[in-house]
Structure 1
C-alpha cells in the first residue's frame, strides 16, 4: 500500500511538472501532445515483451529495477533543470527514456495483486488500492504545483526519491507462489498469447477496448496547462488543483466501492459510468468558472474509477495467473493508447481547432463510443456479477 501511494504521488507530481515545463518552453499545444506520444511509444512496442517476461520471472524484481532506473533518468531531469540546459528536444528525449523504464513496471504491477489477495476479496482489494492510490493522486498534483513555483528541480528530485522508496518496498512484499510460464518456450505464439486470449473472451475484449476508444477521445486533461494558463488564468498552483479534482472524485468513489463493492449489474454500471465521463468532459470543455471546472473534473474522476474497478476486476478474475502478465501487457497498451496517445490527439486537435472545441468534441466522441460498444458487445450489458476463471 505504501509503495502504491509513493508511486502515484511521484507520477502525479512529475506529470504536473512535465506539462508545465514543456508549455513554458514552447507555449505550444502540439508539444504538449508530443509529451503524450513519446510516453506512449515505448509502451506500445515493449509491453508484449514485458508481459511475457513478467509471466516467466519474478514480478517483484522487475518492478523494483524499473522504478530505480526511472529514478535515475528523473534525477537527470532535475540536474538539467537546475543547470538550465534543458531544451524541448532534450526534454522529450529524457521523457522517452523514463517511459521505456516505466513500460517494464506496468504488466508485473497489474499482475501482482492477485498473487497477494484471494479471489473472494479481490474486488474489495482493488477498490481499496484505488482509494489509497487516489489519496496520493489528490495531494501529488497540488504539491507538484507548489514545488514547481520554486523550480522544476524540486519536483523531479522528490519524485526520484519516492520511486526509490517504492521499489525498495515492493522488493519486500511476501506473495503467493507465482504460476510461471517457464515451461512454455518464448516464441512468437507465446509473445502474442495475451492477444489471442483476449480475442477469445468477448467480455474482456469489450471492457478494455471500451477504455481504449472512450478515453482516447476524452483526454481533456492533457489540455489542463492551457486551461490553467489562458482560459481560467490560475497559474501552476491552480493547475495542481485542477489535476487534483479528478483524483478527489476517484478517491471518494473508490472508498465507497471498497466499503460497498458492486455486486449486481456491473456491466450496465460500467457503461453508465463512461457516459458520465464523457458528459463531465463536455461540461469542463465549455466552463470558464474555476468552481464549475473543478466539479466537472471531480465527476470525471468519480465516474472513471467506477469503470476502472469494474474493468480491472473483470480482466484479472477471468485470466489465469500464468497468463496475467501477457494479458496485462495488452491491457496496458490499450490504456496507454487511451491516455498518452489520447493526450497527443487532444494536443493536435487543439492546435487545429482550438482548445475548447477539441475538449468538447472529445467528450462527445466518448459518449458515441459507449453507445456503439453497447451494440457491439451486448454480453457486457448482461454481466451481473464478478466471476473468476478456474485459473485464478
Structure 2
C-alpha cells in the first residue's frame, strides 16, 4: 500500500511542468489544440448519446405503452458493462487508446444507423434492445480508454482543469441533449429516427475531431491475457487506499442519494406537471455546469480530500432538504405556495448537482494522477464499473425504499418517496463519516495538482 506521497503511485503525465507553470490562467488548457479537439469531440458525442437515449425511451413507451420496456433500457446498457469491463480495461492498457476511442465511436455510429432504420421502418422493438447492447459494449470499451487518454494530452498541472472542463461539457450535454431530442421529435411529426440520424452525424464529427490529435503514446509491451492481468485494476484499487476510499465514497453517495429516480413522483408532489418534471430533471445538470465554470476559474483545490468530503456531505443535506420541502411534509408547519416549494426543491437539486461535480472532479483527478500509466485503462474500467452500476442500482434502491415505506405499508406513494429521499440523504452523510474514519488519508490529501 502507498500513501498519497508515494512517488511510484504518482505517475506524471508527459511534459511535466516547471515550478512556475501552475500560475497559468483558467483557459490555458483550452489553448492546448489536442485537448481542445478532444473536448469538443467528446462533447458532441455525449450530446448525441444523450439525445439518443432520450429518444429511445420516448419511442419505446410510445410503441409499447409499458414501463417495463423502459426498465430493459438500463439493463441492456448495464449488462455489457458487467461482462466487458475487465477485458475493456486490459485492452485500454495494451493498445493505442486513441485507436480504441476511434473504433468505439465507429461502432456507436453503426448502432445509431441501425436504430434509425429500425425506427423509420417500424421494425420489431426487439431490434432496439439489440442495438442498445451493441452501444453498451462500445461504451464499456470507450470509457476507460477515454479516461486514460486525457493524461497524455495535458501536463499534470493542467489535469484537474481538464477534468473540470470535461465534466462541465458532459453535464451541459445532459441538459441540452434531451431538450434537442424533444424539439426534433416535435418537428418530425412524433418520429424518433431523425434523432438517431443526428447521433450518426455527432459520432462522425467526434471521429473527425479525434483523428488529427497528436498525443504522447507510450509503446507498452503486450501483456498476455490472464486472470492476473484482467483483475490488476481491482488489485491496484484495493491496495491504493486513497483511490479505494474516494471510489467507495462516490459509489455509496450515488447509491443512497438517487433522488433523481423519484422525480416523476416529486413532480406530482410539487404540482409541477410535465414542464416541472423537465425542469427538475435538468436541475442537477444546471448546478453541475455552474460549478464547473466556477472551478475552471479557480486555482486547483488546495485541500482536495476535505473538499470532497464536504461536498458529499452537502449533497446529503441537499437531498434531505429536497425530500422534505413540500406541502405534504413541511407544509403544515410552513405554509408556502406551491411555486415556492417547487423552486426551493429545484435549488436543492441544483446544489446537489454542483457539489456532486466537485466530488467527480476530485475523484477522477485522483484516480488518474495516482495510477501509473500502464494501469490507467484497467483502473479507469473499475472506476467506470463501480460508478455506472451504482447509478442503476441507486435508482432501484430509491424506488424499492419508496415502495416499501409507501404502498407496501399502506401509505401513499408520495409518503414513500419522501422517506426514500430523506433516508438516502441521511445515509450519504453517514457514509462520509465512515469514509473519513476508515480512510484518514483522504482527509489529509492536499493540493489537487
With structure 2 as the length reference, what TM-score do the two structures score? 0.77
Structure 1 segments of 4+ aligned residues over 6 angstroms from their partners: none
Q: Secondary structure at the match of 2:154?
A: coil
Report the equivalent of 1:113.
150
8 Å CA contact 2:303, 2:448 repeated in 1: no
Once the 2 structures are TM-superposed, how far is the Cα of residue 224 of structure 1 from its aligned partner? 3.9
Once the 2 structures are TM-superposed, how far is the Cα of residue 326 of structure 1 from its aligned partner? 0.7
The within-5 A match list for 1:219-368 is 219-225=258-264, 227=266, 232-235=271-274, 239-286=277-324, 289-350=341-402, 352=404, 353=406, 354=413, 356=417, 357-368=419-430
Q: Distance in 2 between matches of 1:118 and 1:251?
A: 24
8 Å CA contact 1:10, 1:140 repeated in 2: yes
Once the 2 structures are TM-superposed, how far is the Cα of residue 27 of structure 1 from its aligned partner? 5.1
Report the equivalent of 1:153.
193
Report the equivalent of 2:248.
209
Q: Secondary structure at the match of 2:209?
A: helix
Report the equivalent of 1:134.
171
Q: Distance in 2 between matches of 1:137 and 1:255?
A: 16
Once the 2 structures are TM-superposed, how far is the Cα of residue 113 of structure 1 from its aligned partner? 0.7
With structure 1 as the length reference, what TM-score do the two structures score? 0.88
Query: Which ranges in structure 1 are unaligned for 5 or more consecutive residues?
Result: 388-392
Report the equivalent of 1:390.
none
Q: Distance in 1 between matches of 2:151 and 2:303?
A: 23
Once the 2 structures are TM-superposed, how far is the Cα of residue 215 of structure 1 from its aligned partner? 0.2
Q: Distance in 2 between matches of 1:103 and 1:117?
A: 24
Once the 2 structures are TM-superposed, how far is the Cα of residue 247 of structure 1 from its aligned partner? 1.8
Report the equivalent of 2:329.
none
Q: Secondary structure at the match of 1:142?
A: helix
Once the 2 structures are TM-superposed, how far is the Cα of residue 33 of structure 1 from its aligned partner? 4.4
Once the 2 structures are TM-superposed, how far is the Cα of residue 373 of structure 1 from its aligned partner? 1.5
Q: 1:360 to 1:46 in 2, by over 3 A?
A: same
Mapped pair 1:380 → 2:442: yes
The structure richer in helix per residue is: 1
8 Å CA contact 1:59, 1:112 repeated in 2: yes
Q: Distance in 2 between matches of 1:309 and 1:52?
A: 24
Q: Report the aligned-residue RMSD.
A: 2.6
Q: 1:68 to 1:362 in 2, by over 3 A?
A: farther
Q: Distance in 1 between matches of 2:270 and 2:118?
A: 30
Map Cα deviations across residues 127-175 of structure 1 (whole Å, 9 max, x no partner): 1222333333332232223334443333332223212221332222111
8 Å CA contact 1:16, 1:240 repeated in 2: no
8 Å CA contact 1:36, 1:343 repeated in 2: no
Q: Distance in 2 between matches of 1:225 and 1:72?
A: 33
Q: Distance in 1 between matches of 2:350 and 2:104?
A: 31
8 Å CA contact 2:401, 2:420 repeated in 1: yes
Q: 1:156 to 1:300 in 2, by over 3 A?
A: farther
Report the equivalent of 1:45.
83
Q: Secondary structure at the match of 2:446?
A: coil
Q: Secondary structure at the match of 1:168?
A: helix
8 Å CA contact 1:141, 1:240 repeated in 2: no
Report the equivalent of 1:97.
134
Q: 1:129 to 1:335 in 2, by over 3 A?
A: same
Which piece of structure 1 moves more, 348-357 or 139-148? 348-357
Higher normalized contact order (CA 8 Å, seq sep 6+, divided by chain length): 1
Map Cα deviations across residues 175-218 of structure 1 (whole Å, 9 max, x no partner): 11235242x32211111111111111100111112111210122
For these two proteins, the number of residue pairs brought into alignment is 383
Report the equivalent of 1:194.
233
8 Å CA contact 2:118, 2:127 repeated in 1: no
Q: Secondary structure at the match of 1:105?
A: helix
Larger gyration radius, structure 1 or structure 2: 2
8 Å CA contact 1:33, 1:343 repeated in 2: no
Once the 2 structures are TM-superposed, how far is the Cα of residue 329 of structure 1 from its aligned partner? 0.7
8 Å CA contact 1:33, 1:347 repeated in 2: no
8 Å CA contact 1:74, 1:160 repeated in 2: yes
Q: 1:109 to 1:232 in 2, by over 3 A?
A: farther
Q: Secondary structure at the match of 2:302?
A: coil
Q: Distance in 2 between matches of 1:333 and 1:306?
A: 20
